[in-house]
Structure 1
Amino acid sequence: MQMDIQCRGFDLTDGLRDYARKRLAYSLNCGDGHIGRVIVRLSDINGPRGGKDKRCHLEVRLKGLPEVVIEDTEVDLYVAIDRAAERAGRALLRCLARQREFAPDRRMDENTEESVVQADELKTEKI
């Protein structure tokens, strides 16, 4: 999984980068084979004025599926990363479950082919 972390309004520290990487890797490990790229945008909306203005915007780009986009705004940036990562993990699970639910069942095709072969064998035995 390729991860790109971008910051606006402040400098990205090594600790914050490592925290975001570890938290997202843990939350998104269920769909690791389906994830092409994760883009993380961290920003301080109000700047030094304070308030609930730390934003974590996640884009999880999936192979062959629509992307998952999550945004969370909190007072603390670490909390925003936690909540966005949790929500992205749940959304990814839903997306993958939906794909499995509506994907054609390959076992049905294999069973159909086997029953056709068995029917042909029965016809040749009777002759």
Structure 2
Amino acid sequence: MKLVISSNRVAVGNKLRNYIESRLQQSFQRLDRWVQKVSVCLDDINGPRGGVCKQCRLVVTLNGAETVVVTETGSSVGASVSKAIRRAGFAMTKRVKSRQDRRVKKISHRHLPGIELATSPELSELDDAQWEKSP
């Protein structure tokens, strides 16, 4: 997983970078094989005026060119990052699960007609007739 952190009017130090990396690894641990790239963009919306103005925009690029985009605003950078990563984790889990469900549905759908034919009464009657004619 490639990680890109950019900021606009927010100082990104080693402590914040390590916090973001550890939260991403915790949250995306099970989904790591589907994640190609994670872009984190931090912004201070109101600038020096203060207030609830720290924004985190998370863009997760999955294998197969799908993207999950989450934007979260909070009173601190850490809070907005944490909320965004949690929401992105839920969204990615949903996408990956739907992918798997579609794949399982396709596979099981191929095999269902064969199973239904083998247990259908028409086939068993034909089989009985064939067995009665054979010596």
TM-score interval, smaller chain: 0.7 to 0.9
Distance (whole Å) between structure 2 residues aligned to residue 87 and residue 36 of structure 1? 18
Contact 1:36/1:62 (<8 A) preserved: yes
Could you list the per-position Cα deviations for residues 56-79 of structure 1 after superposition, in whole angstroms to 9, with x for gaps in the alignment?
100000011520000100011101
Alignment correspondent of 1:40: 40
The answer to which structure, 1 or 2, has the higher relative contact order (CA under 8 A, 6+ apart) is 1
Answering whether residue 15 of structure 2 is matched by residue 24 of structure 1, we say no
Structure 1: 4+ residue segments shifted above 4 A: 107-113
Distance (whole Å) between structure 2 residues aligned to residue 65 and residue 105 of structure 1? 21
Alignment correspondent of 2:123: none
How many residue pairs were aligned?
Answer: 119
Identity of aligned residues (%): 30
Determine helix, strand or coil for the equivalent of 2:30: helix
Length-normalised TM-score, structure 2: 0.77
Distance (whole Å) between structure 2 residues aligned to residue 112 and residue 49 of structure 1? 66
Answering whether residue 79 of structure 2 is matched by residue 79 of structure 1, we say yes
Length-normalised TM-score, structure 1: 0.81
Distance (whole Å) between structure 1 residues aligned to residue 65 and residue 29 of structure 2? 17
Determine helix, strand or coil for the equivalent of 1:80: helix
What is the one-letter code of the residue matched to 1:43?
A: D
Q: Over alpha carbons, which structure has the higher Rg?
A: 2
**1:1-127 alignment to 2 at 5 Å?**
1-103=1-103, 104-106=105-107
- Across the aligned residues of Structure 1 and Structure 2, the Cα RMSD in angstroms comes to 2.4
Q: Name structure 1 gaps, 5 residues minimum.
A: 114-125
Determine helix, strand or coil for the equivalent of 1:29: coil
